[in-house]
Amino acid sequence: MKNTASLIKMKTQNEKIAMLTAYDYPSAKLAEEAGVDVILVGDSLGMVVLGYDSTVKVTVDDMIHHGKAARRGAPDTFLVVDMPFASFHGSAERILDNAVRMFQETGAEALKVEGADDVVNAIELLTRTGIPIVAHLGLLPQSAGVLGGYKVQGKTADAAQKLIDDALACEVAGACMLVLECIPYQLAEKVTAALTIPVIGIGAGSETDGQVLVYHDTLKYGSHHLPKFVRSYAETGESMKNGLIQYVNEVKSGVFPAEEHRFTMKEEELKQLYG
Ligand code: KIV
Ligand code: NA
């Protein structure tokens, strides 16, 4: 299993880090078997698994429930669990209570938090407590309401400079890794060069230390909108639906179950039963 030190070593040796989200036992198991370096139990599960239209309704309990399932599927892969909406804001006591519960109950290697500013204090507090923290800058889905939607971030010189400063602040506060979402590739390249910790991109070009994608996008599982920065590597949803249509048809036509699927009672037992 990778750890925070071997992930930094991958950065220094220019070995790309492949990260993928997973939300339950089978998805995490497939990710581990495929050789994924880091599994993220993202709060994107609110949208792709629970059917919400944003991530803000996801709770600490939801994340623990899915984090535990993913852990069972991927016992040997570096596992990161997202702290959900507002769970790392407010008093130090509240932040610590949520993070300690999530870290202990899921058995994850790290937790992830969105944003900088006051979140930098949370990164420092949790790191000092002994919980490795992954930072997340650029597009912050938990703040989509404030940002005015899911838009590319850091496009102006001022916004880009703020993001670079925020990234450095996250590293100084002790973050073990940084996710950059939906920013110009030139800015992602600059941040990646400026930091010692690994920088993982999603919609941030190819010059980051690694990439992360959402499981359901990568495999085209589910019928949601795919963002511009996604490449899908399988047509899982289509293949599953075709299988299910065939199942329904065979039940209705009586083709399934066939002889090989049934259990048999011996003749003598049948005689005793019916006389
Ligand atoms: O929740 C998630 O899936 C994420 C990734 C997009 C980085 O935070
Ligand atoms: Na997330």
- Please tell me whether residues 90 and 128 are part of one structural domain: yes
- Please tell me whether residues 200 and 263 are part of one structural domain: no
C-alpha atoms less than 13 angstroms from C-alpha of 82 in its C-beta half-sphere: 28
Tell which atom from ligand 1 comes closest to the C-alpha of 44.
1
- Please tell me whether residues 230 and 243 are part of one structural domain: no
- Please tell me whether residues 141 and 256 are part of one structural domain: no
- Please tell me whether residues 247 and 199 are part of one structural domain: no
Q: From CA 270, how far away is CA 275, in angstroms rounded? A: 8
- Report the pocket of ligand 1 as residue ranges, CB < 6 Å: 21, 40, 42-44, 82, 179, 181, 202, 212, 214
- Please tell me whether residues 149 and 130 are part of one structural domain: yes
Cβ 29 vs Cβ 74: under 8 Å? yes
**Domain count across the chain:** 2
Tell which atom from ligand 1 comes closest to the C-alpha of 213.
6
Is residue 15 part of the annotated active site? The answer reads: no
Tell which atom from ligand 1 comes closest to the C-alpha of 200.
7
Give the chain's mean pLDDT.
97
Cα of 76 vs centre of ligand 1, distance in Å, is 21
- Please tell me whether residues 170 and 267 are part of one structural domain: no
For ligand 1, atom 3, which residue shows the shortest CA distance?
42
Q: pLDDT tens digits, residue range 175-208?
A: 999 999 999 999 999 999 999 999 999 999 999 9
Q: pLDDT tens digits, residue range 136-158?
A: 999 999 999 999 999 999 999 99
For ligand 1, atom 5, which residue shows the shortest CA distance?
42
Res 241 pLDDT > 90: yes
Confirm whether residue 112 is marked as ligand binding.
Answer: yes
Q: ipTM score here?
A: 0.99
Q: From CA 167, how far away is CA 187, in angstroms rounded? A: 11
Active-site pick, 33, 109, 181, 189: 181
- Please tell me whether residues 169 and 114 are part of one structural domain: yes
- Please tell me whether residues 31 and 126 are part of one structural domain: yes
- Please tell me whether residues 171 and 245 are part of one structural domain: no
pTM, entire model: 0.97
- Please tell me whether residues 29 and 157 are part of one structural domain: yes
Cα of 75 vs centre of ligand 1, distance in Å, is 20
For ligand 1, atom 4, which residue shows the shortest CA distance?
42
Confirm whether residue 82 is marked as ligand binding.
Answer: yes
Strands (E), the chain: 17-21, 38-41, 78-82, 110-114, 133-138, 177-181, 199-202, 210-213
Q: Which domain holds residue 195?
A: 4-234
Spatial neighbors of 104 by CB under 8 A, at least 6 apart, are none
9: domain CATH number is 3.20.20.60
- Please tell me whether residues 188 and 262 are part of one structural domain: no
